[in-house]
Amino acid sequence: MNRTVILKICSLLLVMTICLTVTACKNKGGSNTVSGSSSRGASSTDSQSTDSSGSESTDSQNPDSESPDTVVSRTSSESSGGGTITVTETKNVPYDASKNPLQRGVNFSNFEYDDIEIGYDNWIFQSKYYDAVREKGFDHIRLPVNFFCHMGGAPDYKIDEEFLRKIDTIINIAISSNLKIVLDFHHFGELQTNVSGNKQKYYKMWQQLAEHYQSYPSGLVFELFNEPGNADAISKGGPDIVTPEKLIEIQEEAIKIIRKTNPTRLIVHATCWNDGAAQLMTTEPLLPNDDNLIMSVHSYEPMAFTHQGADWNNTGNPRPSTDFTEDMKYEIQLIFEMVKNYHEKYGRPVWIGEFGTLKSKAPEGARAKYADFIVETMKDAGCGWCWWEFQSGFGLYNTSRDEWVDDALMAALMK
């Protein structure tokens, strides 16, 4: 047997095992940690000065188009311990990678932390960085934002106006720099561990954002929930921890709310457990006739490589420095076999909203080797992607010197 055949068999076995495990966990009504990365966290600070600009409306997607490629019909629903499992039947249709306008992106992190006040003197308000990103060949950025800590109380849960103005400013800069921008709700807090106690707040958040941005161009994309079921977030425990079934329910409801004012805006939704690829086949495609939805997956495999030097791994010791080796490729290939299966089954694009590797301990040239391999693998699977992140621990750019930090890495990403 050649390597491709062995790979396919292994990936099939892996997917079957995962499906069985997830089903078992669902039946027990419990949670699981099937895939994805272990506990993670980082911080970033850097500062410079302010800029902003306007935006225009050029929405071009078609609200009513029902592509035959993506039509998936539901056949039945059955109850199980933790909720309702919907059985779906699909047309096996060829996947069209060009449906995803998010091809090459980079995360502009900063606004995801609830304990850091980001002022207008931060680098993120400077248009020159957006221009640099565009000129390098990226077509989008992703902006992780934790809105929950900038909202008032029930019943209105009003988003703080001054905070929203900051987000407007960033979106406007990105759009006038000719970049698409994914507004990502990045939240490792209470919604993860108390869904029923916080879902009204979540819906109100999306209602306000949808109304506020309804006239913005189609280059503004909404991402519903970063890494639901994140191991670190749910390890704190809580009365109503997010599960795949609850995630489907709240994401579907959020999409319906957004669609009232934004009938065609591109929306990214997630799988449970850290946007893990292993959940792709058990998280049914939401609202199958909506042609403007994209599935998000994060890929930090292999963690030993991408998180080398990280001390947020629950062992107290930073992961050791390591090169990117041949035997690491296999773990990445398995992830993208699952992605390909999803593409073949549902026709909905998978976008890799986070992948990347820490820089401080990586041997010279190692990050470029990793990028070279994973970018090729993502291309082969028909995925757009978004590197984590622009200028901090996993960064590509040095904002103090105003230069890209690794030419070989950039060449590998942009090839």
Contacts with ligand BGC by CB under 6 A lie at 40-42, 112, 227, 354, 388
Q: How far is the CB of 370 from ligand BGC (least distance, A)?
A: 14
What is the C-alpha separation between 181 and 385, in angstroms, rounded? 13
How far apart CA 178 and CA 384 sit, in angstroms, is 18
To ligand BGC, the closest distance from the beta carbon of 314 in angstroms equals: 13
Nearer to ligand BGC, 311 or 380 (CB): 311
DSSP code for 151: B
Q: Which is nearer to ligand BGC, 223 or 227 (CB)?
A: 227
Nearer to ligand BGC, 384 or 393 (CB): 393
SS3 89: strand
How far is residue 212's CA from residue 206's CA, in Å, rounded to a whole number?
A: 10
DSSP percent split of the chain into helix, strand, coil, nearest 5: 40, 15, 45
CB of 292 to ligand BGC, least distance (A): 24
What is the C-alpha separation between 93 and 70, in angstroms, rounded? 8
CB of 288 or CB of 395, closer to ligand BGC: 395
Query: Nearest approach, Cβ of 406 to ligand BGC (angstroms)?
Result: 18
**What's the closest the beta carbon of residue 273 comes to ligand BGC, in angstroms?**
13
Distances (CA, A) of 94 to 71, 78, 101, 288, 294: 12, 29, 18, 16, 16
Q: Which is nearer to ligand BGC, 337 or 354 (CB)?
A: 354
By beta-carbon proximity to ligand BGC, the closer residue of 177 and 392 is 392
Quick count: other Cβ atoms within 10 Å of Cβ 220?
Answer: 23
Could you give phi then psi for residue 401, rounded to 5 degrees?
-100, -5
* Minimum distance from residue 133 beta carbon to ligand BGC (Å): 19
